[in-house]
A and B are shown apart, each in its own frame.
Chain A
Amino acid sequence: MSLELTRRQFLQGSSAVAGGSVFLTAYGFDATAAAAEARQVKIDQAREVRSVCPYCAVGCSMIAYVLGDGSANTRPALVHIEGDPDSPINGGTLCPKGASTLQLAVNQRRILRPMYRAPGTADWQDISWDEALDKLARLMKDSRDDNFTVTDDDGQTVNRQTGFAFLGGATISNEEGYYATKLMRSLGTVYIEQQARV
């Protein structure tokens, strides 16, 4: 957990990611690499994948440079992200956030497996996806069933559940957002909100 990390540990721990595959000294310089006089341009053999910046709403197009030809026994590695020069909006430029999205995409602090925190306990514990989804579906159903109103006090049909809420959506795609709306409304959810007001 981050609270146990000092800033120095955080920054250094991340620099191995930032620096790609080379082995780095405490200051991030690899003497062997530095000795190689001709610096190969690092995106030389990379595949270009078009993406859009995940931060603000300007909508800067970006190119993700991915190493690996996608063949069966490989796993692609992201080596660099920069602006897409074709975009009529950003023309290839990126702000400091966009210029460092490589470190958002490839980051040791990402959570890579489901976790569960039981009531009153002080730590996360591992949980499988199946267990986690079963548990959450059960919680959703119970909360829905216990808080479902077919007709309100005035006898009007309302078909709403007020047992749980869904919040978020600022950085998921239209398709994910629409899909979330569709499922949540079908469950009778009235508490659906995202960050438009933040």
Chain B
Amino acid sequence: MSTELGLNVRRKSATPSSGTNIRRDGLEVSKIVDIDLCIGCKACEVACKEWNDLAVDETFNFGSYQSHEDLTPATWDLMRFNEVDLPNGDLAWLIRKDSCLHCDEPGCLLACPAPGAIVQYENGIVDFDQSKCIGCQYCISGCPFDIPRFDSETKKVYKCTMCVDRVANSLEPACVKSCPTGAIKYGSRHDMITYGEEKVAKLQERGFANATLYNPSGVGGVHMMYVVPRGEMLGEYGLPGDPDVRGNTSLLGLLRNLRGIGAIATWAGLIGVGLYWLRTGRKFPPPENIAVADAIALGHETEPPAPAPDAPSAGPRDEGDET
């Protein structure tokens, strides 16, 4: 299959040669979050929930303006707040929209053993297809930004889709549409990078000497960049300084997640491991990093790898989530 929702697919999880491959110069889209303009109003957070018909989480004020302590299966966009003292005695209230960055080399997709559960379109959007998700949560370990969330009821993992349904209909994502101050912008990746670079220069003129465009190369760049006025405070914003898709994903991490979930999900996870084994032809789960490295290699390959002799065909694998 080469297209879904009318969008060209670049690659799918656990699906060799899942992209159209022949056309790689399609328009790549991106969001950019200009933190200088962000007032932390949560319009994006609410608009995301409204558009995507997400359930209301029961929240409690835990001593912050932040609505939830963390992302949830039904909250894909969360404003994070942090009060930081500045060297000159002033206060900075750091506010960041936390949601999927849509990595160009998505660790989640590379780690996912369920065929087609994670899709990367040629425009750069990384989407989860819950109908194919087996609940193994490898994606969670694979994500260097700690974005996907597992729902214990549905036994599936959820995250921002960049409103791919809207995007496929030439609408901007809901968060972008709502953002009152224009802090979230959307357009071609090229234009967003240009905006980011120009804004960083303006911020430097305004005295933010360390202003930076956050578009980390360790994940191949992202499709939701940030303009960060106080670039020296990435950690305080909750942004990893040098995220790396390889270094982040370890088997120990995967197993840690497996341990934390219920019996059915564990089964699902184990089946996922099994499927991975079937696909790679190994007799044991791979040691740390190798699995991910392999997955990355798979994603990079333009020629389909020869199927392992004992691997079943693609058809039955698609039903792997029916547990």
Contacts and interface: CB of A to CB of B under 8 A. Distances in A.
Q: Do chains A and B directly touch (beta carbons under 8 Å) in the complex? A: yes
A95 B181 CA distance: 9
Given A28-B74, A34-B131, A39-B165, A93 B178 contact: yes
Which DSSP category, helix, strand, loop or mixed, fits chain A's interface?
Answer: loop
Contacts of A98: 43, 178
Interface in B69-104: 73-74
Interface residues of A, number: 41
Contacts of A22: 53
Contacts of B41: 95-96
B25 interface: no
Interface residues of B, number: 39
Nearest to B131: A35
A27 B49 CA distance: 13
Contact of B50 (A8, A41, A99): A99
B186 to A, nearest CB: 12
Given A37-B129, A93-B177, A27 B55 contact: yes
A172 B182 CA distance: 30
Interface stretch (A9-17, A138-146, A175-183): A9-17
A36 B129 CA distance: 9
Contacts of A15: 55-56
B169 interface: yes
B187 to A, nearest CB: 15
B42 interface: yes
A27 B151 contact: yes
B156 interface: yes
A25 to B, nearest CB: 6
Nearest to B55: A28
Interface in A83-97: 83, 90, 92-96
Contacts of A83: 177-178
Interface of A: 7-8, 11-12, 14-15, 18-20, 22, 24-29, 31, 34-42, 44, 80, 82-83, 90, 92-96, 98-100, 102-103
20 contacts: A8-B58, A11-B56, A19-B53, A25-B154, A29-B154, A34-B130, A34-B154, A36-B131, A42-B53, A82-B51, A82-B178, A90-B180, A92-B177, A93-B177, A95-B43, A96-B45, A96-B46, A98-B43, A99-B47, A102-B50
